[in-house]
Amino acid sequence: MSHPSRFYVAVSAVLLLAFASLSALPAPARAADRVLVFAAASLRDALDEIGAAWADKTGATVAVSYAGSSALARQIEQGAPADLFVSANLDWMDYLSERGLTDAASERRLLSNRLVLIAPKGSTAELAIEPGLDLRTALGEDGRLAMANTDAVPAGRYGKAALRSLGAWDAAAPRVAQAENVRAALALVSTGEAPLGIVYQTDAAADADVRVVGLFPEETHPPIVYAAALMAGIDKDAARAFLAFLESPAAAAIFAEQGFVPLAGTTTN
């Protein structure tokens, strides 16, 4: 039988080796170097790429929570710990700003986009986006028009405004399949569950299983403006630096490649 003292010596040696191994591992990123971004769902592909570029450049970590701007604003209002908010319209940024939840001096107009009517890739639907647009006939007997929530989500609100402007909303409204956000609306068309949908041009470009039927004239809906801001009370160098990076030439190139129009350098006021 081994002597007890030898056992303790062996265990001590193993523990020392374990602690030495742990000390050799890279230290986890400090909380101050981690930026939590709440961003509109339509920004997913662009911000994933920009976040990766930022991490490579700085070593800081960017985590992004994607959803409809309305849902994200409500979460922030209820205390969600976002450092930075990127909304797909000015209304939800104003909603937070009016409640003192943004760093007003940091609010920026970041991007613009276009609104499109889409169909599944194999569809033969053809429609002219003009006054008198007859979506009801194009949808068939039981087809649905996929849209983000038309009362809250920016893409849905822009789409509803466009259809109203074209005199097509009243006929189309009963056939609208309202989705949680614009990417969910895109998925309904991409999977063939809906024969038509209204999304941003950038969403259509991101999904090879849909095609653009037509582009909505910009005068049919309010200007599509994405706004970004730090949250009130955020004193984090990494968050301020990432907001600045979103307006940099490197980020602008990524946004432009995916179809967004950068509006760097403009405040929301």
Q: Is 115-220 in the same CATH topology as 31-112+224-267?
A: yes
> Tokens 């800081």, residue?
60
pLDDT at res. 44: 96
Query: What pLDDT, on a 0 to 100 scale, did the predictor assign at position 14?
Result: 38
Q: What percent of the chain has pLDDT over 70?
A: 86
Instruction: Inform me whether the pLDDT recorded for 10 exceeds 90.
Output: no
143-161 as b/e: b if 16+ CB within 10 A: bbbbbbbbebbbbbbbbbb
- Residue pLDDT, tens place only, 40-54: 999 999 999 999 999
Average confidence (pLDDT) over 239-249: 96
Write down the pTM of the prediction.
0.83
Sorted by where each begins, the domain ranges of the chain are 31-112+224-267, 115-220
Token digits of residue 235: 């004193």
SS3 category, 34: strand
Instruction: Please say if the pLDDT value at position 6 is more than 50.
Output: no
| pLDDT at residue 183 greater than cutoff 90 | yes
pLDDT tens, position by position, 124-182:
999 999 999 999 999 998 999 999 999 999 999 999 999 999 999 999 999 999 999 99
The better pLDDT of the pair 21, 43 is held by 43
- Residues of the chain with pLDDT > 90, as a percent, come to 83
pLDDT band at 269 (very low <50, low <70, confident <90, very high): low
Region 109-134 average pLDDT: 95
pLDDT at 266 over 90: no
Higher pLDDT residue, 115 or 17?
A: 115
Query: Average pLDDT for residues 2-31, to the nearest whole number?
Result: 42
Q: Which CATH class is domain 115-220?
A: alpha beta
Smallest CA-to-CA distance from 132 within 89, 182, 167 is with 167
Q: What is the mean pLDDT of the chain?
A: 88
Q: CATH number of the domain at 31-112+224-267, please?
A: 3.40.190.10
Structure tokens at 171: 């006929």
Q: What span, in angstroms and rounded, lies between the C-alpha atoms of 181 and 47?
A: 17
Q: Are 153 and 184 in contact (CB under 8 A)?
A: no
pLDDT at 268 over 80: no
